[in-house]
Structure 1
Amino acid sequence: MSVIAQRRLEAFVGLMLSVIALGGALYTQQVMQWFPCPLCILQRYAYLLTALVFLMVVIQPNRRWLSVAGVLLAGSGAAAAFYHVWVLAHPMQTCGVDPLQLKLNALPWVSVWPDLFTSDGLCSDAYPPLLGMSLPAWSGLGLIVQCLLAVRLFSGFFRPSK
């Protein structure tokens, strides 16, 4: 397999991970009535933006800056996810209705797709675990995988071509 084809395949895996995560987020919100908090919305933004980055890598696999953007976006999303895990482990902490929630809900694209971007939950709400882990823990794990994929894509620029 050529280097370009492998880069595209790895980017496609990252893209599909974002699509699955966002689909799962919408499912838990619409079907299970688990409402997202501000930290959940930040994770959704990270998945949406990494999806765009990985899509651009699929289209143009020779852009090194896209890999760097993927690392930064996925890493930031993972930080939000693991902070969310920390909030769940410390119930006295909350991010509730705070300035972050107000600012996130005031962004212009929230009115375009309110189901995906409206924050109306509390960060300290503990929903039942999925396969033994909380949703923020799964989200953080997915974002770490995306971060590693982006690092691998970036490091591919320094490998000799076959």
Structure 2
Amino acid sequence: MNPLRWRFRAQFLLGFLVCAALLGYAIFLQLKMGLEPCPLCIFQRIAFAALALLFLIGALHGPRDPAGRKTYGVLAFIAAAVGIGIAGRHVYVQLLPQDMGSSCGPPLSFLSETMGPFEVFRTVLTGTGNCGNIDWQFLGLTMPMWSLVWFAALAVWALVTAFRARRRH
């Protein structure tokens, strides 16, 4: 049973389920294991949620025309690319030596109370708090590294699903 042979709806539903599982695991780690997310983690969650939403809408709509499938694929790719950028920045911050300021500043709640949305976004991405801390690893990769892997895999999945030639029934 080759997933690449599944229909568009099933493939996009799988993308949604993967995103939902990743978000669920992040929330589990936060609530049950006490791992507090940093601002860059929150932005990665937002990117996963946006990607999940696009996968779900694409699966529910299930366009029959190639242009519709390609539109959903490109939109999902863009959401994944944003996630790649955020996760990549987080990995960079984590890999910086501690003495070089590998942190991301005050908590997101404080930033949002004292700054406008664009200033908050810019401040968080400049990496000034606890984003440099490594609280969790699996197979030698940190959570942002795994996020980067998953965003890249889901970006490829969205494009392959959307641009793959389909047989007529």
Q: How would you bin the TM-score normalised by the shorter chain?
A: 0.7 to 0.9
Residue 136 of structure 2 corresponds to which residue in structure 1?
Answer: 128
Specify the structure having the higher radius of gyration (Cα): 2
Q: What TM-score, normalized to structure 1?
A: 0.78
Instruction: Specify which structure has the bigger relative contact order, considering alpha-carbon pairs within 8 angstroms and separated by 6 or more residues.
Output: 1
Secondary structure at the aligned position of 2:137 is classed as: coil
Q: 1:56 to 1:23 in 2, by over 3 A?
A: same
Q: Determine the C-alpha separation between the residues in 2 that align with 1:140 and 1:153.
A: 20
Q: What TM-score, normalized to structure 2?
A: 0.75
Secondary structure at the aligned position of 1:31 is classed as: helix
Deviation at 1:146, TM superposition (A): 1.0
Deviation at 1:149, TM superposition (A): 1.2
Q: Give the AA of the match of 1:55.
A: L
CA-atom RMSD, angstroms? Answer: 2.9
* Correspondent of 2:149 among 97, 119, 141: 141
Q: 1:35 to 1:104 in 2, by over 3 A?
A: farther
Q: Determine the C-alpha separation between the residues in 2 that align with 1:137 and 1:127.
A: 13
Q: 1:27 to 1:12 in 2, by over 3 A?
A: same
Q: Determine the C-alpha separation between the residues in 1 that align with 2:7 and 2:38.
A: 37
Give the 5 Å matches for 1:147-158. Answer: 147-156=155-164
Deviation at 1:153, TM superposition (A): 2.5
Q: 1:104 to 1:86 in 2, by over 3 A?
A: farther
Unaligned runs of 5+ in 2: 117-128
Q: Determine the C-alpha separation between the residues in 1 that align with 2:79 and 2:113.
A: 17
Unaligned runs of 5+ in 1: 108-120
Residue 94 of structure 1 corresponds to which residue in structure 2?
Answer: 103
Q: 1:71 to 1:101 in 2, by over 3 A?
A: farther
Residue 70 of structure 1 corresponds to which residue in structure 2?
Answer: 76
Which consecutive segments of 4 or more residues in structure 1 shift more than 6 A? 98-101, 104-107
Q: Give the AA of the match of 2:151.
A: L
Give the 5 Å matches for 1:4-153. Answer: 6-62=7-63, 63=68, 64-90=70-96, 91=98, 92-97=101-106, 102-103=111-112, 122-153=130-161
Deviation at 1:65, TM superposition (A): 2.1
% identical aligned pairs: 26
Residue 118 of structure 1 corresponds to which residue in structure 2?
Answer: none
- Equivalent residues of 2:38, 2:107 under 8 A apart: no
Residue 110 of structure 1 corresponds to which residue in structure 2?
Answer: none
- Equivalent residues of 1:38, 1:104 under 8 A apart: no
- Equivalent residues of 2:39, 2:108 under 8 A apart: no
Q: Determine the C-alpha separation between the residues in 1 that align with 2:9 and 2:102.
A: 42
- Equivalent residues of 1:57, 1:66 under 8 A apart: yes
- Equivalent residues of 1:37, 1:123 under 8 A apart: yes
Deviation at 1:155, TM superposition (A): 1.2
Deviation at 1:22, TM superposition (A): 0.4
